[in-house]
Structure 1
């Protein structure tokens, strides 16, 4: 695998700080936030300095019931080539539900939601992963996500679920140790058990991030300093295997460059200390913190009929359109790709009806979260309420970023007005569409009351929609459509 080193998530708000930080070996960029042919100057300068840039996708929804969108896959692959990236990453999550498999309107979560750890969901995920691997020009790694809610009737632990995913597809893993801690608080799951069950030799790199606990719920905010408990999970992981890369994520409330540098130093020291303990060859007791983590060497992953692998090679130099592997490279060169000609397990098709069963379950959950429909049987209604509020808050925050004129025009009234709108209007498109629909809803209702603000909002809406606010007939049709969504 490519040795990445210590890195940081590149964000426009900290672009200058990232360029000035010492000891940054590589960066990761949210794939949906960049355009091929119009890369930010900061990323271009970093690449010219030899800094590896890895695109990190958030919208594929490989854990969803539908097959991956070919256009989204093509866009992700193009960005990987434009950045000369040695791999691309995504999430084990679903981000939308409904549509043709359920004969209901498709809803967007605007966030990463957990897939149920069931055989049906694993079948669908594996098939989707192989579709993505065949389409992408570079290897793929998938991230475990943080969860506020637990699915009823799960059949596997997180570690076993990840292990079977790797065994069946050869996909690499992006392990987020902050998410392992989140799931410890929110779902009672032991990070040490997950690390002991998953194939650590399949890890492409590791995420580290901060969060905060409120009322017994851990919120994976990426807006707080990395706490000691997360560094302890990182130490446990690094005591088991040497991670090829470790990356600090920060998405909001950005601190000074000095504070970011201090966090990177703490991460480097944690990995170095745990690696030194591992190098002494002591046995691993599980769950050890930074003070005394010990580990046995990671065992090779068994693939198929006894084939032993310890991680297939990744490109050591930046990939270009001329040198990139062809479609399917992500599968055949991954850690599940057996050596000496042996093939990994090939179970290509999901069981009959699996996609539809997963689709129905995911649509029911997402509808409860964003459209106010009844809570599906077996879910914790209080915890779903926390998740629903978190989704609405994130939706408001992202709309404020993609359409900063709205909070400027509406002032302090933006957030309460948007949250009221979100309670009755689930997102069915992207965030820019959401911003337009929100503004339209306000204007139709004769708001804001201040004439100057209403005039500015009207001009903003017209400038982006190319038409005038809808008449009464159009409003009635839209109201009927949204009423159907809420059923």
Structure 2
């Protein structure tokens, strides 16, 4: 694997700081947030300096029941080519469910959710990964995610699951040590045991990020400094192998440029210090892969349509419980699902506010509670921009704000963003205004 070195996640809010940061050898960009034909000037300048740029996808849903969407795969490939990237990365997760296979409406999580660590779930994931590998112009690496809960009846540990995945597909691994720590706090999984089981020769690079603990639950926020326990997991990994690359992830609540640079330097020092205690390859025993059951042991069992349908039904029931208020499926920790559901709704409100900041400006302190009430029982189905319009219309219809000025501002915002403003000045404009007032209320 090509050596990447020390890097940081590039975000528009810290673009200037990243460009000025000493010792940054590569950056990672959220793939869905860049347009190949209109790359940010900051990324272009970094590339001209020889800084590698890696697109990091969040929307494929490789752990879902359906095969990867060819359109999404083509978009990821296009970004890799536009950025001249050495590889692309995605997540071991599902992000949507429902649809034709389950004869139900499609549901979007707006979040990375865990896949069942079963042999059947692994078979589906392996086939999806192979499909993605065949369509991408550069190598693919997949990332372990943070989880608040696990699936009932799991057959493999996290380390065994990752080993099998890499062994059967040849995919590279992006190991997030913060996520290993999260799963340790939330589910009692031992990070050292997971690291012991990993095929270290498949390691592409490492993510490091911050979070916080509340009421016994670790929240992988990407908005807080990297804590010592996460650095300890990074050190554990670095005693086993020299990571080809290590990257700081920070998505919001950005500190000063100096603080970011200090955090990157702390990560670099942690890896360097741990490397002095590295055990030479072959000096210690590492558990081998769990034997594959069934035919085709070289690559593992192939997922048939029945297996995909069973997975689809399970993921749809789970996602419906999280975003639509249906009963929790049997065997899941209901308390943890409630926590996850609240997190998904809060994240959804934050994304809508970032895409349509005028809504929060118009509604002020009432935006958050209003959005939580709106989202209850109304799953995300058409994307966040459609969600913003639906929320504004719902507010005007069902819960009009106090004050004529606020109502008018919200109404005008909805009219403009929904395209109704194009009626102004046409012969039927007066009729349209009458209908509009009847719809929205004065």
Q: TM-score with structure 1 length normalisation?
A: 0.83
Q: Distance in 1 between matches of 2:209 and 2:131?
A: 30
Task: Give 1:366's aligned residue.
Answer: 319
Aligned match of 2:417 in 464, 468, 475?
A: 464
Is the CA contact (8 Å cut-off) linking 1:117 and 1:158 kept in structure 2?
yes
Give the match for residue 156 of structure 2. 156
User: Do the aligned residues in 2 keep the contact of 1:173 with 1:202 (CA within 8 Å)?
Assistant: yes
Residues of 1 paired with 2:289 and 2:154: CA distance? 24
The change in CA–CA distance for 1:129 and 1:298 in structure 2 (over 3 A counts) is: farther
The match for 1:321 is none
Contact 2:212 2:220 in 1 (8 A): yes
How far apart are 1:446 and its partner, in Å?
Answer: 5.5
Shift in Å, 1:444? 2.0
Equivalents in 1 of 2:107, 2:283: separation in Å?
Answer: 46
Q: State how 1:34-433 maps to structure 2 within 5 Å.
A: 34-278=34-278, 281=280, 296=283, 345-347=298-300, 349-433=302-386
Q: Deviations over 1:127-153 (max 9, x none)?
A: 111111111111100000000111111
* Corresponding residue number in structure 1 for 2:428: none
Q: 1:30 to 1:108 in 2, by over 3 A?
A: same
The 1-side partners of 2:271 and 2:285 are apart by 16
Secondary structure in 1 aligned to 2:273?
helix
Q: Distance in 2 between matches of 1:230 and 1:268?
A: 14
C-alpha distance in structure 2 between counterparts of 1:390 and 1:453, whole Å: 28
Separation in 2, partners of 1:201, 1:298: 15
CA change 1:75–1:298 in 2 (3 A) is farther
Q: Distance in 1 between the 2:141 and 2:235 partners?
A: 21
Distance in 1 between the 2:402 and 2:63 partners? 44
Residue by residue over 1:16-73, the C-alpha shift from the partner in whole angstroms, topping out at 9 and shown as x without a partner, is 1111110111000000111111111111111111100000000100000111111100
- Structure 2 distance, partners of 1:469, 1:413, is 27
Residue 352 of structure 1 and its aligned partner are, at CA, apart by 4.7
Greater RCO (CA < 8 Å, at least 6 residues apart)? 1
- Compute the displacement of 1:300 (Å): 12
Mapped contact 2:164–2:290 kept (Cα < 8 A) = no
CA distance in 1, matches of 2:347, 2:50: 34
What displacement does 1:298 show?
8.7
Could you tell me how far apart the structure 2 residues matched to 1:232 and 1:69 are?
38
CA contact (8 A) 1:443 1:469 kept: no
Structure 2, unmatched stretches of 5+, are 292-296, 421-431
Aligned-pair Cα RMSD in Å: 2.4
Pick closer, same or farther for the CA change 1:180–1:302 going to 2, 3 Å. closer
Cα distance between partner residues in 2 of 1:418 and 1:464 = 18
Deviations 1:381-418 (A, max 9, x none): 11111100011111111111111111011111111111
Which whole-Å CA distance do the structure 2 matches of 1:187 and 1:276 have between them? 31
Query: Helix, strand or coil: the match of 1:255?
Result: coil
The answer to which structure has the higher helix fraction is: 2
Number of paired residues? Answer: 423
Contact persistence 1:64–1:97 (CA under 8 A): yes
User: What is the alpha-carbon distance in structure 2 between the residues aligned to residue 434 and residue 420 of structure 1?
Assistant: 14
| CA distance in 1 between partners of 2:372 and 2:366 (Å) | 10
CA contact (8 A) 2:160 2:289 kept: no
**Residue 429 of structure 2: aligned partner:** none
CA contact (8 A) 1:240 1:298 kept: no
Alpha-carbon distance between aligned partners in 1 of 2:283 and 2:229, rounded to the nearest angstrom: 22
Q: By how many angstroms is 1:345 displaced?
A: 3.7
CA distance in 1, matches of 2:130, 2:390: 36
1:163–1:435 CA distance, 2 compared to 1 (3 A)? same
Q: Separation in 2 of the partners of 1:144 and 1:303?
A: 18
